[in-house]
Amino acid sequence: MDKKNVLVTGGAGFLGSFLCESLLKEGNHVICIDNFSTGHVRNIESLLRNPDFQFLKLDITEPINLESFPELEPFKVKFLGVQEIYHLALPTAVKGFDEFRMQALLTNSLGTKNVLDLAAKYKSRAVLSSSATVYGERQPGHTDGVEETEFGTLDHLNPRACFNEGKRFAETMFATYADIYKLDLKIARIFRTYGPRMPLFHGHQIPDFVLNALEGKEITIMGDDKSITSLSYVTDIADGLIRLMRAPAGIGPVNLGSDEAITIGEVAAAIMKITEKQVEIAYEAQPPYMMNLGLPSLAKAREKLGWIPLVRLEDGLKKTVDYIRANKLLLTSGEGEV
């Protein structure tokens, strides 16, 4: 076998599409699964002509039989199996999240089970794209980075719990399957990530900031002028996921993100500088289920993976602005809201 078969769930999404690109550059066969709930065919359009890439429009909450798809015959899945699985599938949105609540619940549970059943069948290595939200809210006075050994407190009954508590359950499933089936399964806890291909109109603040600045409209920040975040560029996170997959088994959860704090107001100011547009900034109360996340400790990622985020914020924001500026008409059409 000269090429590995690698499966990426949620591969037409924001992060997933960049991950698929990186895996193809490494010389793998890449099987991308997505149902376009918050991903888009536009994100993988340039990959569809690559003979080493195959897209399957599937909902992972339904059982998955890869060997039933004739388009995968060139990858010889029936005989060679799947060597690696990256489980990124999960609908994400801030605005209009109610539309995705049931899907998020089932993806974190049934969908994760179906993915892990594939891993057990093929003895695949797998990485779960988990979230910093499993740590809960940033605690007052906690100025150091959150370490992977810490446990957060979550309200498991709030409207967003299908995502946050669901990620905890998905982590539990990964740990249980690894123990029972003796599989090499790993967990990435990803902090806030940005870059081109983030969906517009879903409440992800950076792409909406960029679009409003380009159009000379007011920028609305959910929070106040002291609201702090940290931001990692999407290609850095894709690199971290690949490094985690290649790391020795039994590594435990690993944080991937930026440990540099920045206020949302500073992000908005940086976007205005790049776009050369000065617009008004307004502040709105955060939705009740929107978390103020802590900063990650990256000690484990540095030591075990040799990983640090490399893309400077100003460079990543410029790439994001350039993408939205170049694709503004398409992104703001009816199709762009899919």
Provide DSSP, 146-213: BPTT---B--TTSTTHHHHHHHHHHHHHHHHHHHHHT--EEEEEE--EE-TTPPTTSS-HHHHHHHHH
Contact in structure between 126 and 84 (CB atoms under 8 Å): yes
Q: How far apart, in whole angstroms, are the C-alpha atoms of residue 259 and residue 231?
A: 8
Q: How far apart, in whole angstroms, are the C-alpha atoms of residue 153 and residue 294?
A: 13
Considering only 105-109, 142-146, 193-197, which range has the smallest mean pLDDT? 142-146
Ordered by start, the domain boundaries in the chain are: 5-193+233-257+290-310
Instruction: Indicate the CATH number of 5-193+233-257+290-310 among 3.90.1660.10, 3.30.160.270, 3.40.470.10, 3.40.50.720.
Output: 3.40.50.720
pLDDT tens-place string over residues 222-277: 877 778 889 999 999 999 999 999 999 999 999 999 999 999 999 999 999 999 99
pLDDT tens-place string over residues 287-300: 766 778 889 999 99
Rounded to 10 deg, the angle between the 161-181 and 112-122 helix axes is 20
pLDDT tens-place string over residues 26-84: 999 999 999 998 899 999 999 999 999 999 999 999 999 999 999 999 999 999 999 99
pTM: 0.94
Pull the structure tokens for residue 218: 């007011």
Contact in structure between 40 and 199 (CB atoms under 8 Å): yes
Pull the structure tokens for residue 82: 């799947």
Provide DSSP, 220-238: EEES-TT-EE--EEHHHHH
Q: Which amino acid is at 270?
A: A
pLDDT tens-place string over residues 90-115: 987 766 677 889 999 999 999 999 99
pLDDT at 153 exceeding the cut of 50: yes
Question: CB atoms < 10 A from the CB of 220, how many?
Answer: 15
Q: Which residues pair with 31 in a beta bridge?
A: 7, 54
Phi then psi for residue 263, to 5 deg, are: -80, 155
Q: How far apart, in whole angstroms, are the C-alpha atoms of residue 196 and residue 57?
A: 22
Q: What H or E segment, with its residue span, contains residue 33? A: strand 29-34
Residue 265: how many CA atoms within 13 Å on its side-chain side? 10
